[in-house]
Chains A and B, each alone.
Chain A
Amino acid sequence: MTEFLLAAALFVLSTVVLGLVRILRGPEDADRMLAAQLLGTGGVASLLLLGVANGLNAVGDLALLLALLAAFASVAFVTGAKRPGPTAPIRELDPDDQEAQERT
């Protein structure tokens, strides 16, 4: 049973590493944040598997902490990404206004 759980943890971790390719390829920052979210969930799963396989109860606390930190990271990303949102239409309108103002 221990070998199976370790193999499952390794498999989940390898899928997470495969998903991290999205950080390299992602066209937008939100895609990279999705890969980080995958790292959080898959890391929690592999930590739980490792903890049960080795009989270490403290690894469950690590899994809790990782889930909490992944949620905080995503919330911080969203609060940071919302700031350019209302100004984006203004940026689209800005070149016309600035050019018009500079010409006059």
Chain B
Amino acid sequence: MTLALTLFTVICVSLGAVFFLAGTLGLLRFPDTLTRLHALTKADNLGLGLVVLGLLPQVAWPLGALKLIAVWLLALLAGATVGQLLGAAVRPQPTTLGAGTAPAEGPAP
């Protein structure tokens, strides 16, 4: 049982590290700001989620595990919000894309 949990930790943390490497490569290699944002937010949050999932068997069950999950949920919320905000700030001004919705002033209410 301990061996299985250790193996689970090793596999999940390694997968998370691979996703972090993928996010870094995407940040360095992608040609555009929006594609870099796409690579960074998704790959890094998935990598953090896998690292947290791998660390769950190694901590005390009720409080330590819930704290790890809370850290991951906060990172997910922050990453999603910041991704939307940065994407809205970075994208080209939509003067030619359709003036009906008036999307130039920040996100929709």
Contacts and interface: CB of A to CB of B under 8 A. Distances in A.
Interface of B: 6, 9-10, 13-14, 16-17, 20-21, 23-24, 27-28, 33, 36-37, 40-41, 44-45, 47-48, 51-52, 55, 58-59, 64, 67-68, 70-71, 74-75, 78-79, 81-82, 85-86, 88-90, 93, 104-106
A52 to B, nearest CB: 5
A8 to B, nearest CB: 5
Interface of A: 1, 4-5, 8, 11-12, 15-16, 18-19, 21-22, 28, 30-31, 33-35, 37-38, 40-42, 44-45, 48-49, 52, 57, 60, 63-64, 67-68, 70-71, 74-75, 77-78, 81-82, 85-86, 88-89
Contacts of A41: 44-45, 47-48, 75, 79
Nearest to B51: A45
A34 B46 CA distance: 16
A49 B59 CA distance: 11
DSSP class of A's interface residues: helix, strand, loop or mixed? Answer: helix
A46 to B, nearest CB: 9
Nearest to B37: A34
Contact of B68 (A4, A60, A71): A60
A56 B87 CA distance: 37
B14 A8 contact: yes
